[in-house]
Each structure stands twice: as C-alpha cells, then as structure tokens.
Structure 1
C-alpha cells in the first residue's frame, strides 16, 4: 500500500498562501513531495509500505519535513479538506501546463478553489482482478467517506457538511462512483472515451472515487478528505487494504455483487453520516478476517474506538471552531493537529 496526502498552506491569519514553490525549494529535490493544483497546496507520497506501523512512521516523517519547510516559509501546513477562510488568492494556480489546461477546460470547478484529499493505493498487479474489485467496492465508498470527513468549516463558517470538499468536487464531471466494467479493456475504453470527449483532459484527470491508477499497478481509493491526523490516515489505509483483500476473496469465491450505491448526493451523504455506527459495524464484520490475516485487527479496532470517543476530523474541527471561532487560534489549532509531535 501507499498513501498520497494533500495539504493546504495557510498564513497565520488563515488566508491561503501561494507558497508551494518556496516550500518546495526548501525541501529540495525529494520526489516524495510535489506542488498540487493550487499554489497553496502541497502533496506528499509515501513509498510502498507493507505494514501499518511502517506507514505511520513514513507519514509522520513526511508531515514533519513539510511542516518545517512551511514554517521557514512563514506559513502553516494544514490538513483540512478545504480552506477554512475565503481570504487570499483562492484561484492561484500552480504554474504547470497541465494545470493551466485544466483551469481552461473546467473554469467553474477551478473557481471553487483547491481541496485536499487522501488517496490510498493498494497493489493489485492483475488489472482484470483490479477492475472487478472496483465494481465491488462501490457500495462501501459512502461509509469510507463518512469515516474520513474533514472539511466542515469553509468560507468562515460551518457549512453543514462534514465534507465540504466532497460537495465542491462534484463540480468535476468525473468525480463520481466507478462503474461496473466486465473487463479491464472495457474500463480502458471508458477512460479513453472520457478523455476523447473532453470530459477529462487526460487519464490522470479521471477523478472517480476509486479508480485504477494511471501510474502504478494499484487500485486507488480517492473518496476521503485528507486526514486531520496521521492516525486518521493510517485507519483509512488499514480499512481500505482489508476491504480490497476481502473483495478479492469474494471474487475468487464468485460471490454476487452487492447492490450499488446510487449517486452520492447531499441527502444520501448525510444519511450515511447519521447511520455511520451501523454501517461501520457491517464493514468491520466483513473485513475482520482479512484484518486478522494482516495483523491489523487491534490497530483498526482501536482507531474506530478513537473515532467513537473523539469524532471524525469534521467533528474535531467543529469543536475547535466552537472554541476559537474565525481567528488565528483556529488555524494554529489545526496546524497542531496536523503535525505529529513524535516519530
């Protein structure tokens, strides 16, 4: 497994700060870091990991390096799905040809500004098998989203959404559930058709909530907001790996597809969030044999219990918002949640 995390770069007062070039210069030529769509965003990418402890150590190191470089540039590294305040150059694109092409093709989506997600890659070298997993992961994506929401505050107020990032991303035409494809060739035909029609600028611009990676022999689950803490991201990765392994076993046993979830619109998303406890219990029951096989049961169950006590990133953000309101104290608190104090 491997994980990509996207972060915001914010001034101490909460304004978006187009500081990615400066931060990248301070980090150097480390390929684990790269600028994102907006110049106030930064992405980190782990190497391939086989255990959750290994993944946690790498995520911590990446966040610490990025936060230290951001501090030297006079900004905060913030793990939130959307900018909390509507201040600063929200339309400040990174200066890459591909991003300029995206902005020209999709001006309305671009105008909303940058949002930050967490993408978990699970290795499946067999593309036919990976395509079959995509079909079976569809019904589980709403509960994965409900466990990882982390963008309730934006435009200097509580939006009423646990994931405003999800709402904003709906402006991109391919931000939707994956389809059901009978083969990898049919999947590839769909991707080629979307690019040819202008619905996406290239293969990497296909933003399905789960997809076959354009670069790696992996299935890439993209439904989540970026995790407020490293623990949030590790929990998402552990659940996702066990779910993918479980679905592979289902395929090998030729079990029937579960009914697919419909389009994730606001009413359905909120219903999933309200019913998260029951949905989570059902998910855990399904994946526990694979958690046991990987030695991840204790880690994942402890993470779920932590969410029960402390809440998702969205709930914790709301708690901080109630405490600090639209002040620099809120931004400082988010920064403290983002950056671990240990390795």
Structure 2
C-alpha cells in the first residue's frame, strides 16, 4: 500500500471578494504549525496532511484541516476558499508573506509574484526509493494533461471570466521551472539536473524547482503538482486516489520491463495547454456534446488505472467520483454555472466558501 499525503492551498477572501492578507494571523489562530501555515502570498493558507494509508483516512485528515483552517479564517473575518486563483481584482494581490524564504523568492523572480496567487492541490505518494520515484516521473509525463483536465478550477480572475478553465496554469508559467519533468535515468541524474537549474539561476534552491511532478530532496516521494486547488474535499480525495493508482500502475509497468514511448515536451506542453483552456470536456449530463478526441486522454487514464484501483480497494470510490465529475463537471464548470446565477461578489464568495467547507461532500 502506497501512503498518500495532500497539501492544499487556499485563499482568504473578504465578503466582497477582496483578498485578506492575514494568513500568518490565521495560521496562528489555527494552532497547528505542523499542518497549517501561511503560503507565499499573505492571503494564502496551506494545509498539509500526514501520510495516509486509505482514502477514508485521507478524507478525515482533509476534512479536519479544512474545518480547523475555516474556523480560524472566520475568527479573522475572512472566508476560506479553495479555488485556483483569486476571482476578483480586489485587495493587495501582490502582498508577499513576511518570511525570509518568501521575500527571497519575490526578490529572485519579481515578475513571478503575480503567479504566486495561484493555488494548487499537491499529492505526494511515498514509494520504495528515489530511483523508483524518478522512474515514475519519466512515465507520468504523458498523463499530466489528463490529471490537469480533471482538476481545472480557476476560470475567473480580475472580476471576469478569463476564458481559461485553469487560469492558475497560465499564471504559473511565469516561474522558469513550472514545466513537465524530464525523463532522467535515476535519482543521481535528477539531482544533477536540479543543481544545474539552481546554478543557472532558475531557482534559488531545490524546493523552488516547481516541476509539475517532482521528487523532493532526499525523499522517496513522487509529488504531483499539476492540479488546481480542488473545490471540495471529495474532489481532492478522488484526485488523490487517481494519482496513487496511476503511480502504482507505472511502478507495475517498470517491474514488467514495459517501455514507454517518448513523448516530446512540446507535445506534453500543447496537451497541457488544451487541458488548461478547458478543451478536454467531461460529459455533462447524458445529452451534452463532448469532444471525443480531447476526452480520450481522460478515458485512457481511467482505463489505465483500473487494475491498480481494484488491487487497492479504491475502485468503487474513484469510479463513482469520476462518474460524478462527468455528470456535473469540473470545478471550473461548476463555478461558471453558479456565477451565471449568483452575480454579486458576496453571493459568489459564500458559494465558494460553502463548497470548501468539509460538510459539503458535493457541490454542483
């Protein structure tokens, strides 16, 4: 059983949709320094689960942390919201958290501060060793667009519909290392590439190398970072279950000596761009049109992980979650549908905060 952990990034919003730069204060109110902390920008809050053996255990951890963080945010006069980017152009969007590391990052890449307002759902899978983790990175490259397509959740920014399903993906490209991982032969080659990026000035240290999937320094972990922040706890749980099953499938491929067809980075980038624009359509209801060619990536992913889901006992839960997504849409789809009916900023913020709360298992 591969253990699984999830880091979730949240926004703190006021009733009018303005960002509230009080994350250090909110984290202090939450009183859980190991699991709840401020993010890069002063209106971002990050929660981080322990390693979990089952999806039920993960659901409990995510729910507990969202409840704890949400309560602290309310005491500070803000709402905890799980979307990929601030939907309104209000408040100090460039306010960097007053911590040494974050100030240094802002100094290294001042043009990328705007990209820092993106929020992600990061899934960590612990594997046998770092060589195995790096092998998974090479094999996961062609699956990254499908993972993004399932989790797009940032259609709005600056008070308008951006035309993207994941505006966060567009923003994050300001970071020089926000790109798919390469196909490296073992952990030593991976570490050498990371060092070369640091020496070239693309990152100040290893933790600032923001590959869409990476191996943290010194740890036998595959960290998948491609997804937007997930609207609900259930969205996060289903996505984490998909990632774990995919990692398990890719490890099985390696043990069977199955080779992967090299996919050029330009092709992966093009497919990621398609997914970020929302052109990979999940079926919304029985009679809604689909885009078969674009949707094939998601269909192939679900088929790929089937045996691993069955082996891990997660098939019913993950298949049920994917079926729900196909009927009601991604976070971006649901945001757009609600925004048409709730035109005022306060109404929309209340909707987003309600979806973020752990007592809302689904939010359609």
- TM-score by structure 2 length? 0.91
* Residues 232 and 360 in structure 2, CA contact (< 8 A), matched pair in contact too: no
Would you say 1:205 and 2:211 are equivalent positions?
no
Structure 1 pair 113–244 and aligned structure 2 pair: CA distance change class (3 A): closer
Structure 1 pair 103–128 and aligned structure 2 pair: CA distance change class (3 A): same
* Residues 144 and 223 in structure 1, CA contact (< 8 A), matched pair in contact too: yes
- Aligned-residue offset at 1:215: 6.1
Distance 1:324 1:214 in 2: 45
Match in the other structure for 1:307: 325
- Aligned-residue offset at 1:112: 4.3
Question: Which residues in structure 2 correspond to 1:245-284 (within 5 Å)?
Answer: 245-260=248-263, 262-265=267-270, 268-269=274-275, 270=277, 271-273=279-281, 274=291, 275=293, 277-284=295-302
For the residue of structure 2 that corresponds to 1:264, the secondary structure is helix
- Aligned-residue offset at 1:173: 0.5
Match in the other structure for 1:194: 197
Match in the other structure for 2:109: 106
Distance 2:81 2:201 in 1: 33
Distance 1:267 1:116 in 2: 18
- Aligned-residue offset at 1:278: 2.2
For the residue of structure 1 that corresponds to 2:19, the secondary structure is coil
Distance 1:144 1:333 in 2: 25
Distance 1:258 1:140 in 2: 12
- Aligned-residue offset at 1:295: 0.3
Match in the other structure for 1:85: 88
Question: Which residues in structure 2 correspond to 1:3-14 (within 5 Å)?
Answer: 3-14=6-17
Match in the other structure for 1:239: 242
* Residues 4 and 43 in structure 1, CA contact (< 8 A), matched pair in contact too: yes
- Aligned-residue offset at 1:58: 0.9
* Residues 80 and 116 in structure 1, CA contact (< 8 A), matched pair in contact too: yes
Match in the other structure for 2:285: none
For the residue of structure 2 that corresponds to 1:42, the secondary structure is strand
Is 268-277 or 191-200 further displaced after alignment? 268-277
- Aligned-residue offset at 1:277: 3.5
Distance 2:141 2:24 in 1: 37
* Residues 235 and 300 in structure 1, CA contact (< 8 A), matched pair in contact too: yes
- Counterpart of 1:173 (choices 161, 171, 176) is 176
Distance 2:29 2:273 in 1: 44
Question: Which residues in structure 2 correspond to 1:3-82 (within 5 Å)?
Answer: 3-82=6-85
Distance 2:34 2:273 in 1: 40
- Counterpart of 2:147 (choices 139, 144, 147) is 144
* Residues 165 and 332 in structure 2, CA contact (< 8 A), matched pair in contact too: yes
- Which residues of structure 2 form unaligned runs of 5+? 282-290
Is 270-279 or 168-177 further displaced after alignment? 270-279
Distance 2:65 2:218 in 1: 21
Structure 1 pair 267–198 and aligned structure 2 pair: CA distance change class (3 A): closer
Distance 2:159 2:39 in 1: 23
Would you say 1:229 and 2:232 are equivalent positions?
yes
* Residues 150 and 330 in structure 2, CA contact (< 8 A), matched pair in contact too: yes
Distance 1:153 1:258 in 2: 36
Match in the other structure for 1:217: 220
RMSD, aligned CA: 1.6
* Residues 90 and 113 in structure 1, CA contact (< 8 A), matched pair in contact too: no
Distance 2:242 2:133 in 1: 17
Is 106-115 or 53-62 further displaced after alignment? 106-115
How many residues are aligned here?
A: 343
- Which residues of structure 1 form unaligned runs of 5+? none
Distance 2:116 2:207 in 1: 19
